[in-house]
Chain A
Amino acid sequence: MKQTLQFDQLSCRLKVEGLPDVSVGQSGAALGIITGWSLQWAGRPELEGRKEHLLALMQVVLPYARYLISGVPRRFGAEPQPVEIGPAPEGGHSLLLRSSQPDTPPLQLALDDAELADLVRVLDQLRLDSRLQLPLALPAPVPLRARELLERRPLAQRLAAPLGGVLALVLASGLGLLIPEPKPAAAPAARPDSSQPAAQGATPSP
């Protein structure tokens, strides 16, 4: 009755073991209960765990791949979560696995783009395998919003246009202040007969 699903890529092999869930009428090659899984990496320690760990791995790796395909490398999996993935500062990707055992330090794996693609492919193969008859709580890939896409541009590049605008405005205002104000026009000289109305004194000259 024990079933094993195996998915191979060049750098990794995912093995999922389980049983058909007879309480819902599954039989034969179906796998409705995951009893354990292992992920073998070439030249790296083997990962294994329970269903929850596998689900946690899928819940961070697949959304990370979704963002990466749009050119947005974003970190997934905060501190309490058992798996975390994000871009590595030196290039590539950093996969961090936190053990549920006390006093066990987290395991950090550095993956290159090819290894990440291999991992994504085996996880895709598993979740879309017709023999796996188990609901997986995974979000569907959705288009990114404009704000999320802005994150792929460096901060300096994003701020360049508004800062340039403000700088130009300040410069223009400063230059404007340097221009001397026009002197007020000199008051017309007082005429001796200024007491007379202007209309009367205004005789046309020849």
Chain B
Amino acid sequence: MPQDPTAPEPSTRLPRRGLERLDLLLLSVEALDLNGGEAMVWMSEQMGFTSLFPNRVELWKRRCTNPLRRTTRRGALEPAETDALIRILCALADRLYPLLRGLLSTAEPPEVLSQRWALFRGRLAELIRERMNPRRSGVQLLLDPAAGARQARLLVQALSLGSGVGGFERLRASLLDAQS
């Protein structure tokens, strides 16, 4: 795509909401793939981000800048770090695209679809309870049966539209959205 004068600068830092959403999308990948945590480390190495995230602990520390975490770390991430995390996320979403598609397709039998969603929501809720601060209203919203289901669908939809070669720009722009 041609360069747009209003396009975000490559050095723009992610706002607080963007950091929250980026970590939630990575958490959704973990909910979809039981080895998602390992896959993230592997993908980071494959994509040449070892200088930014030399090991799994460093990758974990970056994810802990999410203010919704139980043990949150202060300070903002560098744009190069967030861009690398988004690229890892897009590559993982691309790898998981058949699963994402299976969740979003209405061509699937409704029973199968509801079982898939129940499994995904169950795993996501488990990970949220384990790692997020339950006193935060954002976390309570994610664990709410009705609002949480809508949020889970939005996360899966965002992963499906952010997967693949063109997903990075789209996902990055959405994470840089103004805070409403």
Contacts and interface: CB of A to CB of B under 8 A. Distances in A.
Contact of B180 (A123, A125, A146): A146
Interface string B157-180: 110111111110111111011111
A107 interface: no
B35 interface: no
A149 B101 contact: no
A66 B162 CA distance: 9
B7 interface: yes
Interface residues of A, number: 39
Contacts of B178: 143-146, 149
Nearest to A43: B107
Interface string B2-32: 1110111000000000000000000000000
Given A114-B105, A127-B166, A137 B2 contact: yes
Interface stretch (A68-76, A96-104, A172-180): A68-76
A135 B2 CA distance: 8
Contact of A143 (B1, B104, B173): B173
B2 A143 contact: no
Nearest to A92: B106
B100 interface: yes
Interface residues of B, number: 37
B52 interface: no
Nearest to A122: B164
Interface in A15-47: none
B123 to A, nearest CB: 20
A113 B163 contact: no
22 contacts: A62-B166, A69-B162, A69-B170, A70-B174, A92-B106, A113-B160, A114-B106, A115-B105, A117-B100, A117-B101, A117-B104, A124-B164, A124-B167, A140-B173, A141-B7, A142-B4, A143-B8, A143-B173, A143-B177, A143-B178, A144-B174, A146-B179
Interface of B: 1-4, 6-8, 97, 100-102, 104-107, 154, 157-158, 160-167, 169-174, 176-180
